[in-house]
Structure 1
Amino acid sequence: MIMRIDEQPRTRWVDTSVFQPHPRPDLRLGALHHRVDGGTATEDRIAVQHTVRTATAEYTLLLNAPERLGRRGVGEALRDAVAELRAIDLTYGPTRPESLVSRLRRGEISAESYPPLADLVDRCAAMRAATDGWFDAWAVPGGFDPGGLLGGWAVEQAAARLRATGVHDYAVLTGADLVVRGHAPHGGPWRVAVHHPTDRRRAPLVLEMTAGAVGTSGVTGRQGHVVDPHTGEPADHLVSATVIGPDLAVADAYATALYAAGPAGLAWFRDGSDYRALFAHRR
């Protein structure tokens, strides 16, 4: 059974129980250990897998690049994307005392002084409005903290660097979040297995994706990592929340807000929204 949900993102939900043999996923999310399988590239492609760790996150990049770029060109594209991830960590990380976010919190600068910072603040404000205040980057101790969407924003910026250097088929993964575009090295859509966060016996739901993002909150097992912005207390409605859509920063923020709000947050995804709640597991 294949159920098409919409064209943006271009995603299919695949019930793996009807396939014999089952299609092997390229990426696994929500499992105890998130896994990737870059696979073997077709004859006219170059497949590269690279993992980089910053002070706040680990990222895995899978590139399925055209052979015409050559290995040097693919290496340059990869270096550009990695440099972007490191620069965002250094420049915007809320835990870094001299980052732009920390300086903004201390009132030393205004967001308008730096266009990318203004974009980050505007995105946070937009998500606060879209989620009825359940995603609120200002409702945290010490002031503004964009952590709920900063990782997704960083991935989207790195993905833009890949496209600018001629790589249009890729996946960028961080934790249980990812962005994909184009095709996997085997030539077909990226196959993403999303596992149930607590029941290891359940077969994963497999998404076939050629564009889009998956944002998840709650699968790390950390308690109290999302706070109810209305009470200041740790959220405890759900075990996890997973949202899919075109942009990872938005999907990530929605997942964080849904985790905080619980089932009431499902109302945000009605009326033709480009974003869908894939999982919202109660405790």
Structure 2
Amino acid sequence: MGTVFSFDVRGGEPDAMRAALDEAVAGLRRADAVFSTYREDSQVSRLARGELTFDGCDPEVAEVLELGTEAERVSDGWFSLRYAGSFDPTGIVKGWATERAARALLAAGASGVSVNGGGDVQMFGAPGPERPWRVGIADPLRPGGLAAVISAAGVDRLAVATSGTAERGDHVLDPRTGRSAVTDLVSVTVVGPSLTWADCWATATFAMGARAGLAWLESLPGVEALLLTAGDEALCTAGLPSRLG
């Protein structure tokens, strides 16, 4: 997946947590081996070359395909699973794999879990009594500065995903043209219960642009967002202030 993952795990029986953490890391490595578009031996690369069919892939490929197809439907095609005519799950796999790793740690008995996959975070529980998880959102126009701080106070799960040009340049494509999205946005941060969907919605919104993207995000239940434009304008969904802290 070409990124760095970090884990913050609280509570649980120590030996069980160590075993669960080892399995979570192994799961991330397996996901990279299956889905990486940079590895010639991955199942996704073999699919693109016609050396493998979907029926011959691991079950996780069918799961990601189903989720991505739903994301395409909900976003009216602004999220896409295809690049240059081939299956490319890049826009969904990182969020999906990060959320799956966090869920595995929670199931093993952790009272609080935060897994950060390349800046996108899935949180469950809390780090301590009366201490919610908090995530800082980088300001792409002010290096080293924060645009906002998101708090998970009052909820037992929360995800934060950001799409933009600050870290990776023009990597978001317009599905209609296959070229870099022409957008007035520099970043989109989506907040919701699931990182799988938050990651998809951030990517789709970035391709849509500020006004259309904000209107669409307002229509999604349980989702809040912060949109930053190249003109140094900050736009947000109506419920985002309740998540700031």
What one-letter code is carried by the residue in structure 2 that aligns with 1:228? D
User: How has the CA–CA distance of structure 1 residues 167 and 112 changed in structure 2, closer, same or farther, with 3 Å as cutoff?
Assistant: farther
Helix, strand or coil: the match of 2:149? strand
**Aligned pairs, how many?**
225
Picking from 158, 161, 168, the partner of 1:212 is 158
Aligned to 2:104: 161
Per-residue deviation, residues 15-59 of structure 1 (Å, max 9, x unmatched): xxxxxxxxxxxxxxxxxxxxxxxxxxxxxxxxxxxxxxxx61100
* Secondary structure in 1 matching 2:160: strand
1:235 aligns with 2:178: no
Q: What letter is aligned with 1:116?
A: E
- Tell me which residue corresponds to 2:240: none
More helix per residue: 2
| Superimposed CA distance per residue, residues 105-153 of structure 1 (whole angstroms, 9 cap, x where no aligned partner) | 2334333443211110111111111112111121x12511111111101
**Aligned residue runs from structure 1 range 1-283, under 5 A:** 56-66=2-12, 69=13, 71-113=14-56, 114-138=58-82, 140-141=83-84, 143-185=86-128, 188-199=131-142, 204-209=147-152, 210-237=156-183, 238-263=185-210, 264-271=212-219, 273-283=221-231
Q: Which ranges of structure 1 fall in alignment gaps of 5 or more residues?
A: 1-54
Amino acid of the residue matched to residue 102 of structure 2?
A: A
SS of the aligned residue for 2:39 comes to coil
Question: Please, what is the CA RMSD of the aligned residues?
Answer: 2.2
Q: Deviations over 1:197-238 (max 9, x none)?
A: 213596642222141111111153433211111122212311
Structure-2 change in CA distance of 1:282 and 1:126 (3 Å): farther
Higher-RCO chain (CA-CA 8 Å, sequence separation at least 6):
1
TM-score with structure 2 length normalisation?
Answer: 0.83
- Counterpart of 1:206, as a letter, is V
Structure 2 unaligned segments of length 5 or more: list them. Answer: 232-245
Q: 1:201 to 1:98 in 2, by over 3 A?
A: closer
Structure 1 length-normalised TM: 0.72
Quote the offset at 1:254 in angstroms: 0.9
Distance 1:174 1:102 in 2: 22
1:153 aligned counterpart, secondary structure: helix
The separation in 2 between residues aligned to 1:277 and 1:266, in whole angstroms, is: 8
Q: Please say if residues 176 and 219 of structure 1, whose CA atoms lie closer than 8 Å, have aligned partners that are also in contact.
A: no
Rounded Cα–Cα distance in structure 2 between residues aligned with 1:201 and 1:265: 26
> Aligned-pair distance for 1:261?
1.3
CA distance in 2, matches of 1:226, 1:261: 11
Alignment-mate amino acid for residue 173 of structure 1: N
Post-superposition CA distance 1:183-202 (Å, at most 9, x none)? 11475111222232213596
Question: Against the structure 1 CA distance between its residues 109 and 200, is the aligned structure 2 distance closer, same or farther, given a 3 Å change threshold?
Answer: closer
Deviation at 1:86, TM superposition (A): 1.0
* Compared CA separation, residues 203 and 85, structure 1 to 2 (3 A): closer
